[in-house]
Structure 1
Amino acid sequence: MIRYKGVNHLALATKDMPATIRFWRDLLGLRLVGGLGKPGYRHYFFELGPHDYIAFFEWPGVEPIEEKDHGVPAKGPYVFDHVSLGVEKQGHLWEIKDRLEAADFWASEVIDHGFIHSLYAFDPNGVAIEFSWDVPGNDLRVRPVMADRLPCPEALEGPEPRPGMWPPVSSPSTAEDKVVYPGEGGAIRDDGRNAWVGGGAEGESES
């Protein structure tokens, strides 16, 4: 059975990478650990945890989205509502709130959601962010709960994946099929491209 480690990275978009770095690295404290780029394009990664990153593409023509309160229903085409970042200590929620308000960013009050306590804010790109602290003894991964007053029939089947819902694999990939093709990120393995150790990235990533 496939086992997932978490969200490897969430890829978002900005037209202002400097402002994005100032917010995510310098205000929130996430390390900037990877960067790819060429004229008109950047792709930067911020370390969120042992297995997770928040990543941003910089596209010169993109505009910040209009702020929409977290979880408020929307109409029409829609994919992404907000990202929730877990914090280790409850006190970190107020530390983040203080930092945000000192930097003139809006921050909500801390809200009790039963299994988590949450703080809400927006980044300079209009990305809706939630900061969440796990309430001890209420880990849904240990004790799943379905508290929907009118759950759909599929939800009532329980938390575990159900076999037989989809066609089985009839033609698995062969050894010859398992080819990994080169992508933009190959530059990460080239020490000569690492600007932090005197590499040769000068001028290549200007947008």
Structure 2
Amino acid sequence: MRKLQVQGVHHITLTGADRQSTIDFWEGVLGMPFVFEQPNLDDPEEGHLYFDPGDGRLITVFTHEQRRPVHRRTPTDPGCVHHLAFAVSRATFNQVAERLEERGVGHSGPRDRGFMDSIYFKDPLGLLIELACYKFEPPAGATHAEVLMEAHRLRLAADDDHIGEVHLADAIEALSRRRSPSLSEEREPKNPWHHAR
């Protein structure tokens, strides 16, 4: 038996309402360029709209002109999507609450998740959307997932409840050390100020 090895998210497809409300949310609120559309090839009565979430991958939405937005929360039963999370810069994150409130949209307010900050709100169809901002940048050549895996190991070793900023900082130091060789014979932390006393 062998795995079916995936290499990233190809796209996520959602069932939307009408075409214009879909464009108004995904491009007009979240800023995702509307890159192309075609019929739903399995149901030609529906449109299939494609948006770029910022990384060149795709969020796609099936639309139908007879469907209208339903504002109740989408189901969270087992097997259902709980929420979608999108990355934003710190500058954007700091503006999210104000920009949602300009539209009269309720939100959770900023939430500290230890390794990231998040804010939650519902789209016009009741799907929970998270805008998230990492508290760190990975070292050159590393990914956020690698930093989080290393931080997780450090958190467990310290018997801490969740990943915090100290784990992130130590994880970045450990990954940097492994990835970047040095001419120094030993690379332990130093205090050069004590020589000046």
Q: Percent identity?
A: 25
Residue pair 2:22, 2:63 contacting (<8 A) in 1 also: no
Greater helix percent: which structure?
2
Pairing 1:13–2:19 present: no
Aligned-partner residue type, residue 81 of structure 1: H
Q: Give, as a single letter, the amino acid of the residue that structure 1 aligns with 2:121.
A: A
Query: Partner residue of 1:49?
Result: 54
8 Å contact from structure 2 (residues 69, 124) kept in 1 = no
- The separation in 1 between residues aligned to 2:39 and 2:20, in whole angstroms, is 14
Mapped pair 1:116 → 2:116: yes
* 1:147-197 superposed Cα distances (whole Å, 9 cap, x missing partner): 799xxxxxxxxxxxxxxxxxxxxxxxxxxxxxxxxxxxxxxxxxxxxxxxx
2:73 to 67, 72, 84: 67
- Which residue of 2 is the match for residue 168 of structure 1? none
1:19 deviates by 1.1
> Comparing 27-36 with 140-149, which one deviates more in the overlay?
140-149
Distance 1:40 1:137, change over 3 A: closer
Which residue does 2:30 correspond to in 1? 28
Q: Tell me which structure has the larger Cα radius of gyration.
A: 2
Q: Which residue of 2 is the match for residue 83 of structure 1?
A: 84
- 1:63 & 1:23 partners in 2: Cα distance? 11
Tell me which of the two structures has the higher relative contact order, counting C-alpha pairs closer than 8 angstroms and 6 or more residues apart.
1
* Contact 1:86-1:133 at 8 Å conserved across structures: yes
Unaligned runs of 5+ in 1: 150-207
Say whether the 8 Å CA contact 1:107–1:121 is kept in structure 2: yes
For residues 137 and 29 of structure 1, the distance between their equivalents in structure 2, rounded to whole angstroms, comes to 23
In structure 2, stretches of 5+ residues that fail to align are 139-143, 160-197
Q: Structure 1 residues 80, 65: closer, same or farther in 2, change over 3 A?
A: farther
1 CA distance for matches of 2:69 and 2:109? 28
Q: Give how far 1:135 is off.
A: 1.1
Counterpart of 2:9, as a letter, is V
Cα distance change of structure 1 residues 65 and 13 upon mapping to structure 2, 3 Å threshold: farther
| Count of residues in correspondence between the two structures | 142
Query: Structure 1 pair 49/55, CA: closer, same or farther in 2 (3 Å)?
Result: same
Within a 5 Å distance, the mapping from 1:174-185 to structure 2 comes to none
Q: Normalising to structure 2: TM-score of the pair?
A: 0.61
